[in-house]
Structure 1
Amino acid sequence: MTVATAPARPLRIGPIDLDVPVVLAPMAGITNTAFRRLCREYGAGLYVSEMITSRALVERNESTMRLIRHHESETPRSIQLYGVDPATIADAVRIIVAEDHADHIDLNFGCPVPKVTRRGGGAALPWKNRLFADIVTQAVKAAGDIPLTVKMRKGIDHDHLTFIEAGRAAEDAGAAAVALHARTAGEYYSGHADWNAIGELKQAVTSIPVLGNGDIWSADDAVRMMEQTDCDGVVVGRGCLGRPWLFGDLAAAFGAESTPVDATLGFVADAFRRHAELLVEFFDDEDHGCRDVRKHVAWYFKGYPVGGDIRTGLAMASSLQHIDDLLGQLDRDAPYPGADAEGQRGRAGRPKRTALPDKWLESREIGESTSEMMRGAETENSGG
């Protein structure tokens, strides 16, 4: 694989200096400690936890408290929070700061999942502009010296765009950076990200870094996004599924020291095995860890000559020894398959009408009944 290179462009988010302008996007059920550690072994950047529900954190839900833990090798440590109530989010931020759980906090205003948006959370929330500004303002104050950033989408749909207004509001509230997934909630993960919107946001928000997210499947894509939009960094999500070494490619593309990857089938098999091993350690349960890595099988071996029997076996493995036995049957010298292994991975789907609370779009303000309804948005456990 050949990778385009760009001049070194370090990224500063508050007091955090990153050698390369690269952030791992939070992904539910994916970006746990195991995956973050694996990505970090290949490259550099900021690696964000999967989404943490603020109320669950405040109430010290057992699974949530597990998700906010970081391995001693992780630095800087980053946690993404989700919520709809300014006071609850601020309380969650204060817990993170007081108990030294993270060096960076991100707020989620980009989730398009119906169970989140139908209660006014995620990508639906910036439509209520005063509520959005209040959440960011209170969270920034609670964070103190810990940099707090915002991740969002373009808006609910093309008739209800919010990203410019929200970006400026976050800047005014003291956010350390803003990141834009250049799709609307209605587009979900379909079609192509609108990189022009990232450029528009960069022109509108001038005092803090603007990061771009969407359709970065390779290091070349990251370089092109920054050249096209003049954004300050990139946020990588689905492009690293089954390819944690993408962060090595990204480091090399932005001028950092990185070992070139020869992604033979043997190399990929070793990465998959390492991922399973780290998951076993994270869950402290071999069966649980081996079951969790099953979702990654298709992503890792996309385009490679791996027979159906082996794929099925890996998707049913319940022990590291079983995984080793199956991987031992592969042709480790099989070369990187090129285009067959490239391109989109993970969920895409089709555009869909965003699930919203009743009469949500009729006003930019929050009424008492709407406020009561929104509290249910924080009843879900973290990571979903």
Structure 2
Amino acid sequence: MKIGAIEVWPPVVLAPMAGVTNAPFRALCREQGGGLYVSEMITTRALVERNAKTLAMIRFEPGEKPRSLQLYGVDPAVVGAAVTMVAAEGLADHVDLNFGCPVPKVTRRGGGSALPYKRDLLRRILRAAVAAAGTLPVTVKMRKGIDDDHLTYLDAGRIAAEEGVSAVALHARTAVQHYGGTADWDAIARLKEAVPEIPVLGNGDIWTADDAVRMMRHTGCDGVVVGRGCLGRPWLFRDLDNAFHGRPERARPSLGEVAETMRRHAELLVECFGSETHGVLDFRKHVGWYLKGFTVGAGPRRDLATSSSLAELRERLAVLPAGQPWPGEAADGPRGKSTARERVHLPDGWLDDPGDAAVPEDAESATSGG
């Protein structure tokens, strides 16, 4: 699969996930196999204004190539300025634009998965980003739409292709579904039929490498984007590498091997943040994902999830039954958020006119993350 001048094999992309796909987690995944590994979401205004927290988030490990950065913005001028900065200062080799985030603090500003409903505003943003990027490829990640009555993905895909976007990725759920229900893989097939001139990547319900192969066979898509399926499972990328090379081997780590990965993950976070307290606190959210399916009591789980130092974490990991084998299917399936929402939070009057290209008041946030 080619994204601009970047060759991606196997055709696998790590989905940008706020608070997860930082440099340490990407390092754990990248060492397992090939693909494209995308950063956390970066807010364009915060980047342009050189917010210290935002600049610290744009961290790539030595030798990390290609460097892939996801940007979120609503104002075409600000998005264009941010992409200009990325290209001029060599901050990344690839820019992905977020039109898929469903969280209220993003959609209520008209951003993320709310934005493609405004077709002309979407076009203005894409045109500004592609013009500013120069030789850097620009890609788009989006959802099917706001809800089943306001589907946008086919129009958005066509607009993206017309404006010179190098690839589009579709999370085959609507914003109101959030992460609930089942991903509509048929929508990915329809998008591929609508924009055959650029790569289309599918996202949604890829929990195993075999799921990725099934998605590509079912939809005809050019590649896959893996999000929640790799939470607590960085070795999924080894499985994906094996699957796309036709090899039957799959990773089946024992609990001891998982514990060793957990220890290393926490240590990498501490090194990245330059603070043991910050790193260990950040690691806590990963504990339940790593232990899914294993027979570990509530007490040890709680102890690990409340560790306050590396020494404490290492001590608690050491008491886990290291020989316990991989639990099989019990370890697969949803991790992270998995419920639907009652409604999508939108700016007042957002659905009145899909042709309105005005930027919502106070649309841009100076804080990164989503």
What TM-score does the superposition give when structure 2 sets the normalisation length?
0.97
Deviations 1:26-47 (A, max 9, x none): 1111111111111111122101
Residue in 2 aligned with 1:121?
A: 111
Residue in 2 aligned with 1:15?
A: 5
Residue in 2 aligned with 1:193?
A: 183
Residue in 2 aligned with 1:364?
A: 354
> What letter matches 2:364 in structure 1?
E
Alignment partner of 2:206 out of 201, 206, 216: 216
Pair 1:133 & 2:127 matched: no
Q: Secondary structure at the match of 2:170?
A: strand
Q: Secondary structure at the match of 1:378?
A: coil
Taking a change above 3 Å as real, the CA distance of residues 372 and 153 of structure 1, as seen in their structure-2 partners, is closer
Residue in 2 aligned with 1:76?
A: 66
Q: State the shift of 1:322 in Å.
A: 1.2
Q: State the shift of 1:330 in Å.
A: 1.3
The ranges of structure 1 where at least 4 consecutive aligned residues each deviate by more than 6 angstroms after the TM superposition are 256-259
Q: Secondary structure at the match of 1:131?
A: helix
Alignment partner of 1:291 out of 281, 291, 303: 281
Shifted more, 257-266 versus 293-302: the winner is 257-266
> What letter matches 2:62 in structure 1?
E
Q: State the shift of 1:308 in Å.
A: 2.1
CA distance in 2, matches of 1:361, 1:330: 52
Structure 1 contact 182–197 (Cα < 8 Å) conserved: yes
CA distance in 2, matches of 1:327, 1:124: 42
> What letter matches 2:369 in structure 1?
G
CA distance in 2, matches of 1:372, 1:157: 20
Written as runs of structure 1 = structure 2, the 5 A alignment for 1:251-262 is 251-255=241-245, 260-262=250-252
Q: State the shift of 1:307 in Å.
A: 2.3
Written as runs of structure 1 = structure 2, the 5 A alignment for 1:35-114 is 35-114=25-104
Residue in 1 aligned with 2:232?
A: 242
CA distance in 1, matches of 2:151, 2:366: 27
Structure 1 contact 33–71 (Cα < 8 Å) conserved: yes
Deviations 1:48-101 (A, max 9, x none): 011100000000000100111211131110000000011100100011111111
> What letter matches 1:86 in structure 2?
P
CA distance in 2, matches of 1:262, 1:342: 12
CA distance in 2, matches of 1:195, 1:260: 24
Residue in 2 aligned with 1:6?
A: none
Structure 2 contact 40–369 (Cα < 8 Å) conserved: yes
Q: State the shift of 1:186 in Å.
A: 1.1
Residue in 2 aligned with 1:8?
A: none
Taking a change above 3 Å as real, the CA distance of residues 258 and 94 of structure 1, as seen in their structure-2 partners, is farther
CA distance in 2, matches of 1:170, 1:104: 16
CA distance in 2, matches of 1:340, 1:151: 30
Alignment partner of 1:312 out of 302, 324, 334: 302
CA distance in 1, matches of 2:327, 2:107: 39
What TM-score does the superposition give when structure 1 sets the normalisation length?
0.94
Residue in 2 aligned with 1:280?
A: 270
> What letter matches 1:179 in structure 2?
A
Structure 2 contact 113–146 (Cα < 8 Å) conserved: yes
Taking a change above 3 Å as real, the CA distance of residues 354 and 100 of structure 1, as seen in their structure-2 partners, is same
Stretches of structure 2 lacking an aligned partner (at least 5 in a row): none
Q: Secondary structure at the match of 1:190?
A: coil
> What letter matches 1:62 in structure 2?
A
CA distance in 2, matches of 1:290, 1:71: 20
Q: State the shift of 1:138 in Å.
A: 1.0
Residue in 2 aligned with 1:182?
A: 172
Taking a change above 3 Å as real, the CA distance of residues 109 and 45 of structure 1, as seen in their structure-2 partners, is same
Residue in 2 aligned with 1:382?
A: 368
Alignment partner of 1:150 out of 140, 144, 160: 140
CA distance in 1, matches of 2:235, 2:203: 18
CA distance in 1, matches of 2:246, 2:80: 36
Structure 1 contact 39–247 (Cα < 8 Å) conserved: yes
Percentage identity across aligned positions? 59
Structure 1 contact 251–258 (Cα < 8 Å) conserved: no
Q: State the shift of 1:312 in Å.
A: 1.3
> What letter matches 1:248 in structure 2?
R
> What letter matches 2:136 in structure 1?
I
Residue in 2 aligned with 1:5?
A: none
Alignment partner of 2:323 out of 329, 333, 347: 333
CA distance in 2, matches of 1:382, 1:120: 16
Structure 2 contact 347–360 (Cα < 8 Å) conserved: no
